[in-house]
């Protein structure tokens, strides 16, 4: 009995081993790349985590405490800047997504030149865009000077504040200018890959152009819209240089607040700054995870299997 | 209800005519197939009728009303495309109810109508499934249900069965014909498959190179094709140049045939391969010749013989599959006078021949 069972057992064991090897193969192949990222990124995170907990700070080995986190969260400025970050990211993402859908629909049948013209902003760095916005919209900017020359305003103080303003108009304009072409590019690719017969079919079944857009085109675009807006949201939420240069003086976004805390001359505030930085990362990851979770269903609906 | 008239319909794509000067009338309740090789302009014609493509010139009329400037959603014309093309983001039930929703029918009514329609295509209870969970045949049935539920005057089907396998195709043909008989909807089927066109339609409009070649009943097209390209497209394989003097036709290879039809001048003589009779003993009938079996092929429903006469004239005869023949066997072949047909050889320029090879 035992003699019969043992070879069978061995066979099962070797098969399990082979299956395990087969399944873990891609991960093993990824290991070299992952370990570099792990050491550089994960190591950094770990060090930051230690420092935020009071170990190995610039001021000595220290001991475990949640003091940095307590200090960070008890500061009301943290909460206002968190709110400000969400406000900017949500408004900018929503506006640029809606406008991009419209632009993509308009450009859908346009020739390549029109498409190219709309995407010319894509390779321009954010800093160049920021400089442009400042030169155009600042009280001493080009538009204000033209208005002054035309006599529409008496002094540059009459020009509405559009940069570093409380409502973050300049900030939003910059993000729209930069992100609309990006989302449009993605949506155009999706639109051009869409079988036009779906829309013809909808029209023949009695849908007006508008009904066709709402009931067929938009749902088919949904996976593209969700992916693009997720990337844009993630970027805007954690963007530093744009709100730093264009944002309001009084209400900072979270990344700017973290930067200010980190560069504070008071070195005892360093653990607090690091705690803030870790909190920012955690919020970003959590927001993206929630977004993915909410949209997973919508995604699988459309991008699953096309009927064949 | 549902009489369609196409008048001088023309559509060019960057100066190349896709459809040229097309005249066609479909009676209410009729089933007409628009048949032709791929790229002949039949789908373009269909799109112009559906209104998703604008003709350059010409008119589309339905029940006497001019449709040229009517948007597709107001034409009372439904469209079923190849592979069904169900909306992937909607359930089967929502797909069927789509046209009703667009017309503002309330939810309860459209659900009831959609479910009734699904029952008619034998898919009761499939309403909550996703299109991705259906087989090709089921998807196509849903597409038909989705089109019929809006009670169109005209139903257009673009290669509706070409993505299905052979067994399923026959089942779908039966179902579509059954639904057509029930609803009485006028139907136009675009297809490149002559067998499908023959089974499904009252009349066939054969189209080559953007132009109609012949419009006739399937039987008429088989027996009296207007030229060689048409005959070849309908499965004709025997073509012999000859000279006709009334009922007496002399082939270039020397044989003299007696035909029921009279014709004069240089002709191209044709006979359907399945109408030839092959015997293993001499017979006294007219148009009978001694021949040798060159090759044979068994197709299940036929035995396809290639025969050679003494004059080296080669013909194809498709005969009863149960009778066996040997290669090089001496046989007698009869070409029944009522099965012979010809067209003037001038009427089929060389260009036509290239069309037929599809």
Q: Mutate which of B72, B96, B101, B131 to disrupt the A interface (most A C-beta within 10 Å)? A: B72
Sign of CA dihedral B302, B304, B310, B312: positive
State the angle between helix axes of B166-183 and B136-148 in degrees (0 to 180), rounded to the nearest 10. Answer: 10
Using a CB-CB distance cutoff of 8 angstroms, which residues of chain B are in contact with residue A201? Answer: 79, 81, 85, 87
Distance CA B58, CA B46 (A): 14
Which one of B86, B146, B150 has the shortest CB-CB distance to A307? B86
Closest residue of chain B to A206, computed from CA coordinates: B73
Closest approach of chain B CAs to the CA of A220, in angstroms? 7
pLDDT-above-70 percentage for chain A: 93
- The predicted-structure confidence for B140-193, as pLDDT tens digits, reads as follows 999 999 999 999 999 999 888 887 888 888 888 899 999 999 999 999 999 998
pLDDT (0 to 100) of residue A56: 67
Which residues of chain B lie closer than 8 angstroms to A216, CB-CB?
Answer: 87
Mean pLDDT (whole number) for A184-196: 89
Tell me what ipTM this predicted complex has: 0.77
Q: Are B317 and B242 in contact (CB under 8 A)?
A: no
Q: Which two tokens stand for residue A155?
A: 């002094």
Q: Mean pLDDT, to the nearest integer, of B195-201?
A: 89
Nearest CA in chain A to B133: A307
Reported as a single tens digit per residue, the pLDDT across B318-349 is 999 888 899 999 999 999 999 999 988 864 44
- The mean per-residue pLDDT over the stretch B53-59 comes to 91
Q: Inter-chain contact B88–A211, Cβ cutoff 8 Å?
A: no
Residue A107: what pLDDT? 87
Instruction: Answer yes or no: are the C-beta atoms of B1 and B153 closer than 8 Å.
Output: yes
Each residue's pLDDT tens digit, A245-298: 888 777 788 888 888 888 888 877 788 888 888 888 888 888 888 878 877 766
- Taking CA–CA distances from A210, the nearest residue in chain B reads B102
The span from the CA of B301 to the CA of B316, in Å, is: 16
Q: What pLDDT is attached to residue A157?
A: 78
Q: Residue B153: what pLDDT? A: 93
pLDDT digit string, tens, across residues A95-145: 999 999 999 998 887 777 877 877 788 888 888 888 888 888 888 888 888
What strands lie across the sheet with B154-158, from one edge to the other? B77-80, B154-158, B186-191, B31-35, B203-208, B211-216
Would you say B262 and B247 are in contact if contact means Cβ atoms under 8 Å apart? Answer: yes
Quick one: pLDDT band at residue B90, thresholds 50, 70, 90? very high
Residues in chain B: 358
- Confidence at residue A40, expressed as pLDDT on a 0 to 100 scale: 87
Pick the closest to residue A303 from A187, A215, A220 (CA basis): A220
Ordered by start, the domain boundaries in chain A are 71-303
Q: Which residue has the higher pLDDT, A6 or B132?
A: B132
Residues from chain A that touch B85, judged by Cβ atoms under 8 A, are 195, 197-198, 201, 307
Q: Show the tokens assigned to B164.
A: 């299905």
Position B291 confidence tier, pLDDT thresholds 50, 70, 90? very high
Helices and strands, counts by H and E, chain B: 9, 18
**Inter-chain contact B101–A305, Cβ cutoff 8 Å?**
no
Whether pLDDT at B356 is above 50: no
From the list B52, B86, B103, the residue facing A200 with the nearest CB is: B52
CATH topology of domain A71-303: MetI-like fold (1.10.3720)
Q: How far apart are CA B358 and CA B351, in angstroms?
A: 14
| Minimal C-alpha gap between B358 and chain A (Å) | 25
Give the list of residues 6+ apart from residue A154 with CB closer than 8 angstroms, or none: A148
Q: Which residues on neighbouring strands pair with residue B285, listed in sequence order?
A: none
In Å, how far are A96, A111, A122, A176, A253 from A179, measured between CA atoms?
6, 21, 8, 5, 18
Report the pLDDT value the prediction gives residue B314, as an integer from 0 to 100. 93
Closest CA relative to residue B256, chosen from B278, B282, B288: B288
Percent of chain B with pLDDT over 90: 62
Confidence of residue A58 (pLDDT cuts 50, 70, 90): low
- Cα angle for residues A55, A61, A62 (degrees, 5° grid): 65
Do B229 and B239 touch, CB atoms closer than 8 A? no
CB contact under 8 A, B79 and A201: yes
Indicate the SS3 state at residue B158: strand
Residues of B with CB under 8 A from a CB of A: 47, 50-52, 71-73, 75, 77-79, 81, 83-90, 98-99, 101-103, 130-132, 134, 136, 139, 146-147, 150, 156, 163
- Residue of B70, B77, B102, B152 to mutate, interface with A, max A Cβ within 10 Å: B102
A219 contacts chain B (CB < 8 A): yes
State pTM to two decimals: 0.76
Looking up tokens 């037929």, which residue turns up?
A: B356
């Amino acid at each position: 009995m035992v003699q019969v069972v043992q070879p069978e057992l061995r066979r099962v064991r070797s098969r399990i081993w082979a299956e395990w090897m087969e399944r873990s193969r891609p991960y093993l192949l990824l290991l070299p790349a992952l370990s570099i990222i792990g050491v550089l990124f994960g190591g950094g995170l770990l060090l930051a985590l230690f420092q935020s907990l009071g170990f190995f700070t610039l001021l000595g080995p220290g001991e475990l405490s949640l003091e940095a986190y307590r200090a960070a969260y008890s500061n009301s400025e943290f909460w206002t800047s968190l709110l400000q970050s969400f406000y900017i990211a949500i408004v900018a993402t929503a506006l640029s997504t809606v406008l991009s859908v419209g632009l993509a629909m308009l450009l859908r049948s346009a020739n390549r030149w029109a498409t190219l013209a709309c995407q010319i902003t894509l390779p321009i760095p954010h800093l160049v865009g920021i400089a442009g916005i400042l030169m155009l919209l600042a009280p001493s900017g080009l538009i204000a000077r033209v208005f002054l020359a035309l006599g529409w305003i008496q002094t540059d103080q009459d020009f509405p504040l559009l940069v570093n303003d409380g409502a973050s108009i300049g900030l939003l304009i910059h993000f729209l200018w930069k992100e609309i072409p990006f989302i449009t590019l993605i949506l155009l690719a999706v639109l051009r890959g869409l079988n036009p017969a779906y829309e013809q079919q909808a029209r023949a079944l009695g849908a007006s152009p508008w009904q066709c857009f709402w009931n067929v085109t938009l749902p088919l675009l949904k996976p593209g819209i969700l992916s693009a807006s997720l990337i844009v949201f993630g970027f805007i939420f954690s963007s530093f240089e744009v709100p730093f240069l264009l944002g309001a003086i009084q209400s900072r976004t979270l990344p700017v607040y973290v930067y200010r805390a980190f560069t504070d001359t008071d070195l005892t505030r360093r653990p607090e700054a690091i705690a803030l930085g870790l909190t920012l990362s955690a919020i970003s990851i959590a927001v993206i995870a929630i977004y993915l979770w909410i949209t997973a269903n919508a995604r699988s609906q459309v991008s699953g299997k096309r009927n064949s | 209800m549902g009489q369609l008239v196409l008048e001088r319909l023309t559509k060019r794509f960057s100066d190349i005519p896709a459809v040229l000067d097309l005249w066609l009338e479909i009676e209410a309740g009729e089933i007409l197939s628009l048949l032709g090789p791929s790229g002949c302009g039949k789908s373009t014609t269909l799109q112009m009728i559906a209104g998703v493509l604008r003709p350059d010139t010409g008119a589309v009329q339905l029940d006497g009303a001019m449709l040229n400037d009517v948007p597709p959603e107001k034409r009372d014309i439904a469209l079923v495309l190849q592979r069904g093309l169900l909306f992937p983001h909607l359930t089967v039930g929502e797909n069927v109810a789509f046209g009703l929703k667009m017309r503002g029918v309330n939810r309860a009514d459209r659900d009831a109508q959609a479910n009734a329609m699904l029952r008619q295509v034998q898919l009761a209870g499939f309403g909550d499934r996703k299109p991705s969970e259906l087989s090709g045949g089921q998807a196509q049935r849903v597409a038909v249900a989705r089109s019929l539920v809006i009670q169109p005057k005209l139903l257009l089907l673009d290669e509706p069965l070409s993505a299905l396998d052979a067994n399923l195709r026959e089942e779908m043909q039966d179902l579509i014909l059954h639904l057509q008989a029930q609803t009485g909807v006028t139907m136009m089927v675009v297809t490149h498959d002559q067998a499908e066109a023959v089974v499904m339609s009252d009349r066939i409009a054969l189209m080559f190179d953007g132009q109609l070649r012949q419009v006739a009943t399937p039987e008429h097209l088989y027996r009296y094709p207007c030229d060689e390209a048409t005959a070849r497209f309908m499965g004709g394989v025997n073509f012999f140049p000859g000279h006709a003097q009334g009922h007496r036709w002399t082939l270039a290879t020397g044989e003299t045939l007696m035909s029921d039809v009279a014709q004069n001048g240089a002709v191209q003589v044709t006979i359907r391969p399945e109408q030839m009779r092959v015997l293993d003993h001499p017979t006294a009938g007219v148009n009978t010749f001694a021949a040798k079996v060159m090759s044979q092929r068994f197709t299940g429903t036929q035995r396809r013989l290639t025969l050679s006469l003494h004059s080296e004239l080669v013909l194809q005869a498709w005969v009863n599959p149960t009778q066996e023949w040997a290669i090089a066997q001496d046989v007698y072949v009869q070409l029944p006078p009522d099965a012979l047909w010809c067209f003037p050889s001038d009427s089929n320029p060389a260009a036509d021949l290239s069309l037929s090879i599809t």
